[in-house]
Each structure stands twice: as C-alpha cells, then as structure tokens.
Amino acid sequence: MVKLIARTACAGLLPKTIGTITLAEIAAAPVTLIAPHRGQKKATSDALKAAVGVGFPAPNRCVGIAPRAMWCGKDQALLIGVGCPELRGTACIDHSDAWAIVQIEGADAVAVLSRLTPIDLRATEFKAGHTARTLIGHMTGGITRLGSQSFEVMVMRSMAGTLVHDLTQAAENIAARAVNAR
C-alpha cells in the first residue's frame, strides 16, 4: 500500500538564526478560509466562538493564539490551528496548504521587516494581535504581530523560497551593520 508523504512549504529552508533574530516555519495546518455569506457575519462569529473560542475578527485584527482567527480580506478570515467547525451560511475553503508561514522573532525583528514591508510597525501602531495584508519585498502577503519582538509573515506557498531568501538577506544586512557599520 503506497502512502503519500507530507512536506511543509519551508521544509529544508528553516529554521535559521541570523544575528539577533530567528526564523522558523509555523506549521499552521489546519487552515480554513472563512467567508460568511450575506448577513451571516454575526451568526458565523457566534458559531465560531461557541465551537472554537474565537470570533470573526475585525479588519486588520487577529484574535486568539491557538487557535486564532486572522482577518485576511474583505469579509474573509483564516481560521488557523483548528479544524473548521460546521458553519452554516459560510463558505469554508481549505487553505491548509496555501501558505508559507514564517515566524520571525528577536530584538531586530522590526528592523528586518522594515527592509521588506512599507507598513508602520511601531509598537504603538501595530500591536500584538494586529495583522495587515501588505507587501513583503515584491510579494503580497500578510504580517501579524504576535509579541513585542515576534511576528508571523505569510506569503503564497510557492513563494516560500523567496520569502526565506528575502528575510535572510534583510537579517544578514542588519547583522552585518551591527558589526561593520561605522
């Protein structure tokens, strides 16, 4: 009996430690894209809360940790880390394999991300639980703040290599600055 072997998006590429930061793949599966049908957002949110403990997030917000519900577009959210409960009146689309998700953590995490994304990452503006759909280098993706020095960065799965490349290059530049810049 043959069996298919699973391989994660960043397999063989991570983890890495560069200077003060670490890069690690987040094994997020299962991930479900949730899009309530017309007028169903509240009902969906209530049902979600009852079933898995987190409601439907407001725009640019991520609620919960494990599991968590992350806003990802107009009336859309990703339910991460728990199987999708039965949600009537809601389109539930499996996205477990659609994303490459990398956690970046460390004292220079903001400095590194500032090389790649145009959004305002100051702690006063982008707090833990805030999320944004934005650019990461040349890629569209998402950034979520997990903690003061910890972020989750996600791009399309096929771009995992480029994400790791771009984060690595930015982190190496920051590390080299600390050593060699005047």
Chain positions contacting other proteins, by CB under 8 A: 1-9, 29, 33, 35-38, 74-76, 91, 93-99, 114-115, 117-122, 124-125, 137-139, 155-162, 165-166, 169-170, 172-173, 176-177, 179-182
Dist. CA 98–CA 117, nearest whole Å: 21
User: Is omega for the bond preceding 59 within 30 degrees of 0, making it cis?
Assistant: no
Shortest Cβ 173–other proteins spacing (Å) = 5
Pick the closer one to other proteins by CB: 53 or 75. 75
Pick the closer one to other proteins by CB: 53 or 137. 137
**One-letter identity of residue 96:** S
Pick the closer one to other proteins by CB: 153 or 160. 160
Pick the closer one to other proteins by CB: 22 or 96. 96
Shortest Cβ 14–other proteins spacing (Å) = 15
Shortest Cβ 53–other proteins spacing (Å) = 24
Shortest Cβ 3–other proteins spacing (Å) = 6
Give Cβ neighbours of residue 175 (< 8 Å, ≥ 6 apart): 18, 19, 20, 108
Ramachandran angles phi, psi of 18, nearest 5°: -135, 115
Shortest Cβ 47–other proteins spacing (Å) = 16
Yes or no: say if 48 and 35 are a contact pair by the CB < 8 Å rule. no
